[in-house]
Structure 1
Amino acid sequence: MELVEPRLTGHVPAPHELELARPLYRIDPLGGDFPGEGRALQALGPIVPVELPDPVAAWAVTRRSEADRLLTHPDMRKSPRYWRAYQDGLVPKDWPMLKILTAETMLVRDGEDHTRLRQPMQRAFTARRVEALRGRVEDITRELLDALAATSPGEQIDLRATFAFQLPVRVICELFGVDDDDMRRQLAVDTRLLISSTAPPGERLGAQAGIFSTMARLIASKRAVPGDDLTTALIGEFDGGRLSEEELAGTLFLMLIAGHETTQNLITNAIRRLLQHPDQLSLLLAPDLDEDPWPGVVEESLRYDAPAATTMFLYAARDVTVAGVTVRAGEPVMIHTAAIGRDDETFTHPHAFVAGRADAHRHRAFGHGAHHCLGAALARLEAHIALRALFERFTITPGEPLDRIGEVDSLSSNAPVRLLARVQER
């Protein structure tokens, strides 16, 4: 992560002087310090031209007000057909994020086409359906905590791998109707490879192909033996002529990526921050509380450590000017969610973790506007149940200094690479 020398006269250009061809900042491809990166970008402005790996240039949005304007602007699009550099063949085919940004999913569709793909998922993630999952999420959480309790006294456990990962991957696989343990493990391995910034390009491409191959096998099995699951429901949409075969597989692919990695990061980040703030944890565990404080913990964790620190991309269908900066037609815009979560124009003392912060919900960890994350309610439910159950049952002692743990290598995924700890039942 480093500042790129301005290419004008040695000064930081005024907003009207900024151009995508003159990036002011080089984004760290390994995501080593998203909060520090966010502060550095905010010091340069609300919209900053940046250089990503390979190199790919984009506008980085660092303030909530400008992000909201662009995320709801009628001239901003999600389809890569509006991305001039991509259409001109200037983006390397093995660029880490390219497969996700071009897969046949609602993530890269606009208008009526986006609505057509989103509606089946909206029906799957209504408030009633998500709430109906509460009992099953509680059961899975209890099973995972029982496994933690069975470990040898003094044994160090990686809470990211054994708890924060296992809960959402089991929930999403149950939603899909994936009963085969080998299939579940393979989906987990391929997903990790796909989002990694350091995995060789061939391995990432192989992971992408592997996920779609697994999805094809899952779809075939559900055609043969339908079930009460999301895959069967989406097959019904396909058979009704509302989804193509590629869109069917792409929708499952998107839900896998969005439904497990970000929730794993949310739970991991929240555990780390509560262990770093034992005074706040003590208040959360007080026996005489009038209200459940854990939803507030979840919101503050989403604000303070956005599980996806960057969101790529929006594209300008025509020139769009915001905060004095003109995004030219065909140029990509990256939302720096980590910076927005610590925006001092939106939050008071934004770099302090406060579990009961009243305005924490103003974060943009789940996006904003038409593409707001459909799985937000489920992620909140899982994190709420997981965190409360974990800390009410166990006293947790970190196995290493929490401020020295390395971060996941990624342009977007935001969490420590591990969370070693010893647990003891209260």
Structure 2
Amino acid sequence: RLLTGRFTVRRMRELEPRIERIAADHLDAMAAAGPPADLVSAYALPIPSLVICELLGVPYDDRGFFQERTARIVRGHDTAGAIADLSAYLGELVRRRRAEPAGDLISDLTGDLTDEELANVAMILLVAGHETTANMLALGTFALLEHGSAYEEGAVEELLRWLSVLQLGAPSRVALEDVEVAGTLVRKGETVALTLPVINRDPDEFDDPDALLPGRPEARRHLAFGHGVHQCLGQQLARVELRIGYRALFDRLPGLRLAVPAAEVPLKQGAAVYGVESLPVTWPS
């Protein structure tokens, strides 16, 4: 509740010019290096990390450190060490912002939270907001390229529905008594978890649910961000990042295509967040 007012549609739109600049800088670097490229490491991973840096007020000179640690967390490489490094860094950043406030999220919250609480909030925002968006940028691009679809306005909601990068809805529930749900008996004491890919392809809600239709009018009924009081706090930020990220990519690199057969793109295995390990792409140089 404390953060709700900091993630409104209006505030997220104020970030758009900075997100556009971040995307443009990385696309310029990709174009300068020439094809092929791994879209995950060159584009999808760094953009959400740098956007979080903007929100939290991470100094420019520290952003390389920040990106390297967040990339390790997403890829599962020495995750514990990366989290420890970031926790220590964020604790120090909170202390600096309390002494010298700036126009960032951490400075805004110094009057409401202790140093430890604020550092923990920053870490939660980083981990929750980075991995899902990075996976959506890469996986959404993969889906569009595999299906021969160009990006069009409105495609974000359909990609969120069709891909459901977060596999399980949270939190789970425990039945307090026997109850029947859609013809299935849930017994007292049993745990119920929501499988988002199934929900988001419910044929009672979506016509031809297994088809990827970027202009689908009912796509926004998806539950990729949860529902009710448990909706994702950062959903407006994610939508802005994805819309800008996809549009900039397809505008800047016309003719973008997979550099390997789709069957050779490595998918993440056994992860709570669906995604690709890498995404080799190429384009006319």
Q: Same fold by TM-score, threshold 0.5 exceeded? A: yes
Determine the C-alpha separation between the residues in 1 that align with 2:155 and 2:215: 7
Q: 1:321 is matched with which residue?
A: 179
Q: Percent identity?
A: 33
Residue 265 of structure 1 and its aligned partner are, at CA, apart by 1.3
| Match for residue 121 of structure 2 among 246, 251, 274 | 251
| Contiguous gaps of at least 5 residues in structure 2 | none
Residue 364 of structure 1 and its aligned partner are, at CA, apart by 0.8
Residue 190 of structure 1 and its aligned partner are, at CA, apart by 4.6
Matched residue SS, 2:2? helix
Matched residue SS, 1:236? coil
| Match for residue 214 of structure 1 among 89, 110, 115 | 89
Q: 1:217 to 1:186 in 2, by over 3 A?
A: farther
Matched residue SS, 1:315? strand
Q: Which moved more, 1:317-326 or 1:367-376?
A: 317-326
Determine the C-alpha separation between the residues in 1 that align with 2:53 and 2:284: 30
The within-5 A match list for 1:71-220 is 119-152=1-34, 155-179=35-59, 180-192=62-74, 196=76, 203-220=78-95
Listed one character per residue, the Cα deviations across residues 151-185 of structure 1 (whole Å, up to 9, x for unaligned) are 13xx3101111111111110011101112134313
Could you list the structure 1 runs, at least 4 aligned residues long, displaced by more than 6 angstroms after superposition: none
Q: 1:322 to 1:403 in 2, by over 3 A?
A: farther
Q: Which moved more, 1:332-341 or 1:364-373?
A: 332-341
Listed one character per residue, the Cα deviations across residues 235-292 of structure 1 (whole Å, up to 9, x for unaligned) are 2211xxxxx54432222121111211111111112211111122x32xx5xxxxxxxx
Listed one character per residue, the Cα deviations across residues 108-128 of structure 1 (whole Å, up to 9, x for unaligned) are xxxxxxxxxxx2211211121
One-letter identity of the residue aligned with 2:131: E
Whichever of the two has the greater Rg, that structure is: 1
Determine the C-alpha separation between the residues in 2 that align with 1:383 and 1:132: 15
Q: 1:343 to 1:419 in 2, by over 3 A?
A: same
Determine the C-alpha separation between the residues in 1 that align with 2:131 and 2:63: 18
Residue 327 of structure 1 and its aligned partner are, at CA, apart by 5.1
Determine the C-alpha separation between the residues in 2 that align with 1:315 and 1:347: 25
Q: 1:268 is matched with which residue?
A: 138
Listed one character per residue, the Cα deviations across residues 129-171 of structure 1 (whole Å, up to 9, x for unaligned) are 111111111111111111111013xx31011111111111100
How many residues matched? 280
User: Normalising by structure 2, what TM-score?
Assistant: 0.89
Q: 1:204 to 1:191 in 2, by over 3 A?
A: closer
| Contiguous gaps of at least 5 residues in structure 1 | 1-118, 239-243, 285-292
User: Normalising by structure 1, what TM-score?
Assistant: 0.61
Residue 345 of structure 1 and its aligned partner are, at CA, apart by 2.6
The within-5 A match list for 1:382-393 is 382-393=241-252
One-letter identity of the residue aligned with 2:94: I
The question of whether the paired residues in 2 share the 8 Å contact of 1:366 and 1:372 is answered with: yes
